[in-house]
């Protein structure tokens, strides 16, 4: 299928003023309220072409928003990839050497392999280890409804409900290609209280995506008591107080590409509900990929159809 030609409606912010930070690691800044409370980490630019997170963090910096309690750390992740962002070919700057968000397991981080992304992940790892709560801000290839990827732990779903937006909460498993930061260490441990969320705020470069990323961030901080609603109001959109009825989609399977040629049978964009069971989705070489049950929801079908990567996730609405 041809790649949709999405127009870049957002202006990539200049993050140069945040390079020095105050932590000894470039593009990482921690604000300490001096009052007991959680350590909250917010990350942007995990993928260099997903600029909505940079917009949201830039707005917080410009507004001089500070935590009322605990600590707030703001981090720009894959700055090297972001520095290559070009509005004429915006899809190209997702990463430099490899996907930053497939590196978050002990063996990879402690191993001998080297890359631009691994070096940056190792530098950021102490901040991820120290955080009690994490919000990782992302965007998507296609113009579909925003999604909160909450993982499979009950505490993550509960936090997503406290945030209150977006409408759709995805209980998802990971990728075969590697572990995401959201699932790293204590964040993925059922015995821990540490909790992480990943927001897919909308299509990469639509203006509305920057607004959603900002509103989700403000609601996340408000839910954790880091800031108040009055603090957030001047930065958020007019519908910051909207309360949609949230729905949960449970992902049952991630379709990992096994062959050298994967093709979808239709130009799926995401959130299509396919029925009956056995509906053809695509072909992975000679293998047919079909829906495993009635009313199967397609989650984030990819255009990066490369062996070993996730083609699409399959889910169903929770009762």
Q: What SS3 state is found at 179?
A: coil
pLDDT, tens only, 97-107:
999 999 999 99
pLDDT, tens only, 128-170:
999 999 999 999 988 999 999 999 999 999 999 999 999 999 9
> Does this chain's domain 16-245 share its CATH topology with 252-317?
no
Is the confidence at residue 217, as pLDDT, over 50? yes
Question: What average pLDDT score do residues 112-117 get?
Answer: 98
Return the structure tokens found at 267.
């130009």
For the chain, domain boundaries:
16-245, 252-317
Q: Answer yes or no: are the C-beta atoms of 143 and 53 closer than 8 Å.
A: no
pLDDT, tens only, 167-215:
999 999 878 789 999 999 999 999 999 999 999 999 999 999 999 999 9
Q: Answer yes or no: are the C-beta atoms of 167 and 293 closer than 8 Å.
A: no
Residue that the structure tokens 């929801």 belong to: 297
pLDDT for 319 equals 63
Mean pLDDT of the chain: 95
Nearest alpha-carbon partner for 184 in 107, 256, 119: 107
Which strand ranges, in their side-by-side order, compose the sheet holding 133-140? 28-32, 71-76, 39-44, 133-140, 195-203, 147-149, 168-171, 247-256, 310-317, 296-299, 273-274
Q: Answer yes or no: are the C-beta atoms of 220 and 72 closer than 8 Å.
A: no
What CATH number is given for 16-245 in this structure? 3.40.630.10
Give dist(CA 260, CA 306) in Å, integer. Answer: 7
**Residue 94 C-beta-side C-alpha neighbours within 13 Å:** 13
Neighbours of 125 (CB within 10 A): 17
Confidence of residue 1 (pLDDT cuts 50, 70, 90): very low
pLDDT for 148 equals 98
What radius of gyration, in Å, describes the C-alpha atoms of the chain? Answer: 19
What architecture does CATH give domain 252-317?
A: Beta Barrel (2.40)
């Amino acid at each position: 299928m041809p790649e949709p030609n999405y127009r870049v409606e957002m202006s990539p912010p200049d993050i140069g003023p945040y390079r020095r930070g105050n932590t000894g690691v470039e593009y990482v800044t921690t604000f300490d309220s001096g009052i007991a409370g959680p350590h909250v980490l917010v990350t942007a630019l995990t993928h260099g072409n997903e600029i909505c997170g940079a917009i949201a963090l830039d707005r917080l910096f410009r507004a001089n928003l500070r935590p009322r309690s605990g600590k707030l750390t703001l981090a720009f992740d894959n700055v090297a990839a972001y520095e290559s962002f070009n509005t004429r070919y915006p899809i190209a700057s997702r990463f430099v050497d490899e996907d930053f968000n497939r590196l978050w397991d002990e063996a990879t981080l402690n191993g001998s392999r080297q890359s631009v992304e691994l070096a940056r992940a190792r530098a950021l790892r102490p901040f991820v280890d120290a955080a009690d709560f994490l919000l990782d801000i992302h965007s998507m290839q296609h113009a579909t409804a925003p999604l909160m990827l909450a993982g499979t732990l009950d505490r993550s779903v509960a936090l997503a409900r406290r945030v209150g937006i977006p409408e759709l909460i995805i209980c998802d498993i990971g990728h075969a290609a590697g572990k995401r930061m959201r699932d790293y260490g204590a964040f993925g441990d059922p015995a821990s209280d540490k909790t992480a969320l990943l927001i897919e705020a909308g299509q990469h470069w639509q203006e509305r995506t920057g607004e959603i990323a900002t509103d989700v961030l403000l609601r996340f901080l408000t839910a954790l008591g880091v800031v108040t609603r009055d603090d957030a109001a001047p930065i958020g959109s007019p519908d910051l107080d909207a309360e949609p009825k949230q729905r949960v989609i449970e992902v049952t399977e991630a379709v990992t590409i096994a062959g050298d040629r994967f093709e979808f049978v239709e130009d799926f964009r995401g959130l299509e509900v396919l029925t009956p069971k056995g509906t053809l989705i695509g072909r992975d070489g000679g293998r047919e990929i079909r829906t495993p049950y009635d009313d199967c929801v397609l989650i984030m079908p990819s255009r990066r159809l490369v062996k070993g990567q996730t083609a699409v996730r399959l889910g169903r609405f929770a009762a």
